[in-house]
Amino acid sequence: MQHFKILTLITLLTIAQFSYSQGKIAGLEIQSDYFVNKTSQFSDSVEPFIDNQNHFSLNLPKGWLITEDVLPGVHGVSTSDTSELITFEVLVVTEIKNSESSLFEYFKKDIEYHAPISKYNISEIGKCKIAGIEAFWVYSSQGKTELGPHHSVLHYIKKENSDFIYLIQIDTYNSSEFLKKISSYRNILNSFKIK
């Protein structure tokens, strides 16, 4: 009976320590999902996209400019809406080979590295589900740029037992209602599939 009490106490302390360690990173509180339930503006006008290495797929708005593997040695895709002259939107998926860390460890290291650097202006971080898979997100705003006010949400996602972490970043420039705009991307994010 004494062993059971000690085992229970150790288990409770481990759970409490794990819960506390995921509460804050670099002084930023881990929040819940930022998603605001709105109807997606893209629901009827998307087309399936599969990357050139057949590692992932997602539905993208029809007519968006798509570019793959722009940087040498980095696999990913960059898409953008170039139809509007007033606003500019970009969605980028980057694949990172990382077999050493869990998703949370990778996210934590990234936030601890970038949060103190003022040019990133990270103001919120959180946890959500993308296509049923646990993910983390970070919101940053760089204020005025040559394209107008810049807002960004970067999602970190890793399929269980996978060596790859995917970074899915959504950027808008000169958008007056950023949260509404970002929420309309949820259907695109939920269409993301890791092969």
pLDDT digits (tens, 9 = 90+) for 167-194: 999 888 766 667 667 766 777 888 999 9
Distance (Å, whole) CA 168 – CA 90: 10
**Residues sharing a CB contact under 8 Å with residue 49, sequence separation 6 or more, in sequence order:** 57, 58, 59, 60, 66, 77, 79
Residue 98 structure tokens: 């990382």
CATH superfamily of 25-194: Mog1/PsbP, alpha/beta/alpha sandwich (3.40.1000.10)
Q: What is the pLDDT of residues 90-123, one digit of tens each?
A: 888 989 887 678 999 999 999 998 888 776 788 8
Q: Each residue of 27-54: b (16+ CB within 10 Å) or e? A: ebebeeeebeeeebebeeebeebebeee
Tokens linked to 141? 């705003």
**Global confidence as pTM:** 0.78
Position 111, amino acid: I
Contact status, residue 92 vs residue 166, Cβ threshold 8 Å: no
Q: Which of 105, 113, 130 is nearest to 35 (CA)?
A: 130
**How many residues are present in the chain?**
195
Give pLDDT tens digits for 122-178.
888 999 988 889 999 998 887 666 666 778 889 999 988 888 999 999 888 766 667
Digit-coded pLDDT (tens) for 32-89: 887 656 555 655 688 899 999 999 999 988 888 888 987 788 889 988 877 765 556 7
